[in-house]
Structure 1
Amino acid sequence: MDAALTLYSYWRSSAAYRVRIGLNLKGLDYALVPVHLVRDGGQQHAPDYVALNPQQLVPVLRDGERVLTQSLAILEYLEETRPQPPLLPADAAGRARVRALAQLVACDIHPLNNLRVLQFFDRQWHVPQAERDDWVLHWMREGFAAMEAMLAASADTGRYCHGDAPGLADCCLLPQLYNARRFKLDLDAFPTLRRIEAACLQLSAFDAARPENQPDAA
């Protein structure tokens, strides 16, 4: 139990979803503060929230008086301050592999499909919905194809992305697969990703973090 932790989250944000999984895997208790990214013009743009996070993004994790931003930085912070159970392997090569898989999702797939990108396409360039959807599906498909190949070819892949314990890469993969289903991406070409997803969802830490299980789900 760690009542000092407060997570500012939006139920459908994949970045916040990653952090919820990580907190749950580590068995950490936290208070949740919903920040609705669409309602009221986007509550992340409210002055009080901008003061908390000038990027106007979720998640934010408050640990006592310390304020942390960026989902991967938050998960690494939790790994360093609450190391058990670990989200990263003990060996340097394993940690590099897991970080590469996590960053493939968090740095290469997700930013191209983030809400603010799609809103810019709509509001500034008036890109039709069908073309915005094509953009989203293209970059998800490209990223998943690379991740499928990396996982399927490696002896380090086990029940989860790395070995037989869930970790940082799984925290990133599951939310992106959720997004893929929202946009109706055909996932048949990614059997390894789907197998790992099924294994993760058998764990309460992943199930409790699902968007539909959040108190602000709407």
Structure 2
Amino acid sequence: MTESGKPILYSYFRSSCSWRVRIALALKGIDYETVPINLIKDGGQQFSKDFQALNPMKQVPALKIDGITIHQSLAIIEYLEETRPTPRLLPQDPKKRASVRMISDLIAGGIQPLQNLSVLKQVGEEIQLTWAQNAITSGFNALEQILQSTAGIYCVGDEVTMADLCLVPQVANAERFKVDLTPYPTISSVNKRLLVLEAFQVSHPCRQPDTPTELRA
């Protein structure tokens, strides 16, 4: 934490994992400072010795809070939920809570890692777009089916949960990779309702300290 006592979020404006955490911080009203980590500049600032000492996985986000440093977006969100439980991001009902975790894991473990920057570099520039589209489409085929049984206003019922924090950044990734969202009406409608909420707007990649001028809104 800073001398002012604020948590420090190491983040990249376009990182969907960082965006999940920014939404959680905004929803819970936690004031924090951002340290931008540019994943492209200078070969990737996440590979610097200073950042590797902070997070040996060389990934964002990382959050310094309460005297500890936490990596991995879902672990960060769960810590915030346990230490600052209002508003609740995990339902009290154990069945709904399981659904939230299932959807969150599906996105964070089954879709996003297959189309993130480090993987795309490995597959080669000529097939990056097709690779990302296939990864997202495969995951969204399953996610659409699941949401048809769990969704109310949002992913699980009518309260914003951790699942929603994962959904919105992943839909943004789908749009960036030009995935046709027509076959996913439930995903699209839930995403649309979430994007009007203040916490999702202030945490948006187009409104971050490190957002390039041409991408600001």
TM-score range, shorter chain: over 0.9
CA offsets, 1:149-189, max 9 Å, x none? 1111x1x4210001111110000000000011111111011
User: Which residue does the alignment assign to 1:124?
Assistant: none
Partners of 1:128 and 1:56 lie apart in 2 by: 22
1:164 alignment partner, one of 153, 158, 161: 158
User: Which residue does the alignment assign to 2:102?
Assistant: 100
2:188 alignment partner, one of 194, 202, 205: 194
Name the Cα RMSD after superposition: 1.2
User: Which residue does the alignment assign to 2:198?
Assistant: 204
CA offsets, 1:51-106, max 9 Å, x none? 00000000000004200000000000000010110100001111111000011100
Q: Is the contact between residue 9 and residue 34 of structure 1 (CA under 8 Å) also seen in structure 2?
A: yes
For residues 162 and 42 of structure 1, do their structure 2 counterparts lie closer, same or farther at Cα, with a shift above 3 Å needed?
same
1:137 and 2:133 equivalent?
yes
**1:21-36 correspondence runs (5 A):** 21-36=23-38
Partners of 1:120 and 1:196 lie apart in 2 by: 33
User: Which residue does the alignment assign to 1:69?
Assistant: 71
Structure 2 residue ranges without an equivalent (≥5) = 213-217
Partners of 1:64 and 1:58 lie apart in 2 by: 19
Q: Is the contact between residue 112 and residue 136 of structure 1 (CA under 8 Å) also seen in structure 2?
A: yes
Partners of 1:143 and 1:61 lie apart in 2 by: 28
Identity, in percent, stands at 47
Structure 1 residue ranges without an equivalent (≥5) = 122-126
CA offsets, 1:14-47, max 9 Å, x none? 1001111111111111111100000011000111
AA at the equivalent of 2:142: A
2:39 alignment partner, one of 37, 41, 52: 37
1:147 and 2:143 equivalent?
yes
Partners of 2:177 and 2:5 lie apart in 1 by: 36
Deviation, 1:4, is 2.7
User: Which residue does the alignment assign to 2:215?
Assistant: none
The DSSP-based 3-state class of the residue aligned with 1:137 is: helix
Deviation, 1:3, is 4.5
